[in-house]
Structure 1
Amino acid sequence: MNTPPHHDAFVLLCDRQDWTTWIFQIQGRAAAYNIWDNIKLDCPVPFLEKPTRPILPSLSRYYRGTSIQEPSNPSELSPQDLEAYKEEMERHRALTEEYKLDYSEYKTQQKSICHLTELIQSTVLPHLQRTSCFPGRSLQEWIFNLKISVGVDDLLERERARDRYRDALKPMRNYNTWETWLAEYDQASSRAATQGVADALQIQVLMRDFINAVSKLEPIWAATFQNSGRLDPLMTRKEMIRLFRSHMNLCHPPMTGEHRAGAFATPDDASFLADVEAAAQRSKRDAPSAMDSAPSAKRAKRKPAPPSNKRSSKNETENTKRKCPVCGCHHGVEDCWYIHDEKAPTWWRPTEAMHSLVAYRKQNDPELQNALRGPSDLFAPIVKREMTRD
């Protein structure tokens, strides 16, 4: 997957592939500056206009004397004119306070516009600036021109997000890659919701698709979430992913290094690796050297290999492949410590989440109840019947 280039920890807009990440970066910064509603492409809100300073009242407007000389002091006014002048001055003080507040908001918005302008100029390639970011034009025009220049089509982007979301819904095939699968699903569903894909916006449809994708490997979690979590009116996509990640970390904890292959290998993979290692040892042991390449009459005969107990190895493989219907681990239900706590060692402590889940399923899951009653009829001894002729 191509990683968008970065410039001073910011996403750099180079082509169409960087548009979604870049515009999300600009939107986040503009929202922090409280000016995103003023620069968004659909129905923008106008910026604040620069407020006008109120004019100080003049004494000449309130002087109605007979002398020609204008008064220079309010004491020269008549009592009626002085009262009107005082009222006008009180109004001027109120307008001045309002002007100070309006100008402070206007100045803050202008600073935010300058900061966002610098961010756009520092994260756009020079040739895009020359063709899209013209001086004297608004930020809204800049963003619109950049979108056209890199070739972004909303309908095409929505279709691509929908295709990626559908690809991410392919059923999970093994436990080795559940983290990668879940991360891709999270990114694809988030982008689909951002682009307005209907399947990703309707929570019931989204949960149904997710259950179908994980039910092959995790039928117990899928059935439990189908009966409880999906009916929660407050359930969201993020919460659903969090619940599934917690379940997988509990039942199939991720490991790194050499332990990952051994911990998550299936029985078939384990036997295959064992056969490969044994073949390598045999080839190393039986490889002829330069001295032993000639035939020798005194070469001792190899002893026949002892007979292997194929039935026991087959039974061990079958037991390994069995999956406990209670906790989902690879052992039989008769060895599950959540059911037979008397078999558990002293150091073992059951988790509260799994203990509650087992208690709930013992009362409401018919399949688990049948498994706890006893072995199936398939394991009953077969009685041979004698053939008689009429």
Structure 2
Amino acid sequence: MASDKIKLKGAPDWEAWTTEFQIIADAAHLWEEKINPKNAEALKPFLTMPTPPNPQNYEKRIMPSQQPPAGSTRGISTGPTAEAVDYDGRPSNSGEMTTSGRIAFGLDQTTYKFNKELYEKEDKNVMDLKKWISTTISPHLMQTCCPTGKGIDVWYAKLKAQVGISDAALRDMAKDRYQAAIKPLARPPKDMSAWVTEWEERLAEAKKNGVGRVQHATDWFEDFDRAIRGFSPAYRTWAQTFAATNTEAIDNDTLAAGVLSNGFRAEMRREESTSGGPRKFQKGAHGAATFDGEPPSEEEDRLKAPATEKKRAPSKRRYTGGSKSGCRACGNTGHALDKCWYAFPDQAFDGWTPREFAKKKMEEALKKDDSLQAEIDKLKKRKKPKKTGPRKDHAAHIADVDDQEED
């Protein structure tokens, strides 16, 4: 066995190995019907070699020229053609059978050949799968989990019992890897293409293993948007535009992850073509705007302040709804409460479409926080009437205003 072919040596290799095994077994129509432990009660037995029909089990005819000896038990067949039947004898081939016997024998022969073909096909698939197992697991596992004479279902069950990982553990591992992939970054990764590919793979893995956070587009789009906020203002604006133009697909959970990732790759190519290569972003000086388009928070200022200033007693801060605390109304971390379009829809740009899940978040927030409505009413009194005249369109607005939608 070539060592470079061994893919299963222990528990860390189980997930990748069993995924490949299931794909091969499913293609051979073996996984769901014959192997999958989750279908234990509904599994069908493996086919066995059928027995060919025996000619001696059919009627033997008497030739017309033959006369039945005295005392013999012979009669007339009631088949399509009346003929004498030798009830004492047994035919050795179809030529000695009565007409009805030959018809029955022919039908049984056809059934036998059909069942034999099914058996041979399944048996070959099983043998091929066993061969694949023997070349992809360690010799130790082959000796302890794959006994001679046992079926492929027994082999798989023993391998799973020895080195397999529970569904709950797989789900937790997939969740951890997904969360690592969507961790917000303060600057663009060195290899943007590799980053988005990693995100695609981890999202697919998390979906496959039933991670709850990624089952709906509203959730995983929000994660993606949050992860790229630190890349650059240009990518931030792109995400806002994408959300605005795909609102219905996101809310209806019909947005495909590939549409998002391919759109992001197209934006990457556009950025590279206009800048002569991948953009490099320098960390701004103290007091400059952050990647979210907001000024540094009080907490950031406090951390950057001289040591003498850090010793001052911290002032009591009220909830501002800034980038660190999030909007009290819709929960978005990209804008303050006084800029929330869900709380102040008259401030939104023309053509803005509210997203249902964000509206529901605001309704829940109003129910949980009695002071929220009072705060909104207070802010409404402070706000100046909007100037008359044409509003900015979406593209112009999102370039210089914090994201007003739930990401």
TM-score tier, shorter chain, comes to 0.5 to 0.7
The answer as to whether partners of 2:11 and 2:163 remain within 8 angstroms in 1 is yes
| 1:228-307 alignment runs, 5 A limit | 228-232=245-249, 234-252=254-272, 263-267=278-282
* Deviation (angstroms), 1:46: 2.7
Work out whether 1:25 is the aligned partner of 2:20.
Answer: yes
Assess, with a 3 A threshold, how the Cα gap between structure 1 residues 364 and 95 changes in structure 2: closer, same or farther: farther
Assess, with a 3 A threshold, how the Cα gap between structure 1 residues 364 and 188 changes in structure 2: closer, same or farther: farther
Q: 2:44 corresponds to which residue?
A: 45
* Deviation (angstroms), 1:187: 2.1
The answer as to whether partners of 2:206 and 2:214 remain within 8 angstroms in 1 is yes
Q: 1:204 corresponds to which residue?
A: 218
> Aligned AA for 1:235?
L
Give a deviation string over 1:126-179, Cα, whole Å, max 9, x none.
111222112222222212221222252321221121111112111243334422
Give the TM-score taking structure 2 as reference length: 0.56
* Deviation (angstroms), 1:203: 3.2
Q: 2:82 corresponds to which residue?
A: 79
The answer as to whether partners of 2:55 and 2:105 remain within 8 angstroms in 1 is yes
Q: 1:143 corresponds to which residue?
A: 156
Secondary structure of the structure 2 residue equivalent to 1:54:
coil
Give a deviation string over 1:357-385, Cα, whole Å, max 9, x none.
xxx9999834606989xxxxxxxxxxxxx
| 1:312-323 alignment runs, 5 A limit | none
Bigger helix share: 1
Give a deviation string over 1:292-328, Cα, whole Å, max 9, x none.
xxxxxxxxxxxxxxxxxxxxxxxxxx9xx9x9xxxxx
Q: 1:341 corresponds to which residue?
A: none
Q: 2:204 corresponds to which residue?
A: 190
Task: Report which structure shows greater RCO (CA 8 Å, sep ≥6).
Answer: 2
* Deviation (angstroms), 1:70: 9.4
Assess, with a 3 A threshold, how the Cα gap between structure 1 residues 203 and 111 changes in structure 2: closer, same or farther: same
The answer as to whether partners of 1:11 and 1:22 remain within 8 angstroms in 2 is no
Larger-Rg structure:
1
The answer as to whether partners of 1:11 and 1:25 remain within 8 angstroms in 2 is no
- Indicate the percent of aligned positions where both proteins have the same amino acid: 22
Q: In structure 1, list runs of 5 or more residues that go unmatched.
A: 1-5, 272-317, 324-359, 373-390
Give a deviation string over 1:235-280, Cα, whole Å, max 9, x none.
222332222222222223699xxx86xx4323569x9xxxxxxxxx
Secondary structure of the structure 2 residue equivalent to 1:149:
helix
Give a deviation string over 1:202-231, Cα, whole Å, max 9, x none.
333222322332345322222222223352
Q: 1:224 corresponds to which residue?
A: 241
Secondary structure of the structure 2 residue equivalent to 1:186:
helix
RMSD of equivalent CA atoms: 3.9
> Aligned AA for 1:39?
I
Greater CA drift, 119-128 or 186-195? 186-195
**Partners in 1 of 2:399 and 2:9 — Cα distance?**
59
The answer as to whether partners of 1:200 and 1:206 remain within 8 angstroms in 2 is yes
Number of residue equivalences: 269
* Deviation (angstroms), 1:112: 0.9
